[in-house]
A and B are shown apart, each in its own frame.
Chain A
Amino acid sequence: QAVVTQEPSLTVSPGGTVTLTCGSSTGAVTSGHYPYWFQQRPGQAPRALIYDTNYKHSWTPGRFSGSLLGGKAALTLSGAQPDDEAEYYCLLYYGGPWVFGGGTKLTVL
C-alpha cells in the first residue's frame, strides 16, 4: 500500500506561520485523496482539523487552513500559539483504504 510522508518535526515562533506537508508515494496528492488533517496532543485522542483538502470543522481555529501545494497536501498555521504545539497527522484516501502519514511534531518556540 501507499506510503504517506510528512516532515518529522517543525518549529515555529509564537505568532509565526508554518506549513506542514503531506506527500504520497504514488504521485501527486490531489483532491481525490480527500486529504484530512488531525491534531493530537499528548494523552488525548486525535481531533480532526481539516477535511476534503480545505474544509474546516466548526471547532477548527481560523488560523489553520488546508490546501494543495506542489503536489502535496498542506496545512498552514498562521499566527501560531503555544497551544498549537502538538503532533499533526494527515490522512489520504486510496479508493477504499486510507493511509495516515507518519506525523509532524510541531514545536512552538
Chain B
Amino acid sequence: EVQLVESGGGLVQPGGSLRLSCAVSGFSFSTYWMNWVRQAPGKGLEWLANINQDGSEKFYVDSVKGRFTTSRDNAKNSLYLEINSLRDEDTAVYYCVKGQMDAWGKGTTVTVSS
C-alpha cells in the first residue's frame, strides 16, 4: 500500500523556520519526482515545489523561491521541505504528493502566529 506521512508542522512565530518531512512507503521512491502542495485555511490548493529522482532538478512557485528548499534522501525514502522566514500567509496544511499526483499524504499543519 502506498503511504506518504508528513511531519514537522506546528506553531511557529513569524520569521521562524521549519523543516517538514515526508516518509514514504509502498512504492519505489527513488524512481519518482515528488511534489509539495499546500492549502491555506478555507482556500484552494497551491503547488509549491517539486524535485526529480536524484535531487538534481527542482522547481518552485515564484512566491516561495528563495525561502523554501526541497530535498530528498532516497536511502531513507524521505522528502523534505525547509521553510525559512515564515510569514502569516504560510499558514496552511502542507501535503507531500507522489510524482504523478496519484498519491497524497494527509498533510501536516503549519501555523505562523505570534
Contact B47 A57 (CB under 8 A): no
Inside 8 A of A96's CB, which chain B residues have their CB? 59
Contact B101 A103 (CB under 8 A): no
Contact A89 B44 (CB under 8 A): yes
Given contacts A1-B61, A1-B62, contact A100 B46 (CB under 8 A): yes
Contact A48 B44 (CB under 8 A): no
Contact B60 A100 (CB under 8 A): no
Contact A45 B104 (CB under 8 A): yes
Q: How far is the CB of A13 from chain B (nearest CB, A)?
A: 25
Decide yes or no whether B9 CB sits under 8 A from chain A.
no
Given contacts A1-B61, A97-B60, contact A45 B106 (CB under 8 A): yes
Taken together as a complex, chains A and B put the C-alpha atoms of A36 and B60 apart, in Å, by 18
Decide yes or no whether A80 CB sits under 8 A from chain B.
no
Inside 8 A of A99's CB, which chain B residues have their CB? 47, 61
Q: Pick the contact of A103 from B37, B44, B106, B107 — CB < 8 Å? A: B44
Contact B59 A46 (CB under 8 A): no
Contact B107 A45 (CB under 8 A): yes
Size bracket of the B interface:
10 to 19
Decide yes or no whether B95 CB sits under 8 A from chain A.
yes
Q: Which residue of B lies closest to A100 (CB)?
A: B45
Decide yes or no whether B1 CB sits under 8 A from chain A.
no
A-B contact pairs, 22 of them (CB 8 A): A1-B61, A1-B62, A38-B45, A45-B104, A45-B105, A45-B106, A46-B37, A46-B95, A47-B104, A48-B102, A51-B102, A57-B102, A91-B47, A97-B47, A97-B61, A98-B35, A98-B47, A98-B50, A100-B37, A100-B45, A100-B47, A103-B44
Residues of B within 8 A of A (CB): 35, 37, 44-47, 50, 59-62, 95, 100-102, 104-107
* 5 A-B pairs closest in CB distance: A96-B59, A98-B47, A103-B44, A45-B104, A100-B45
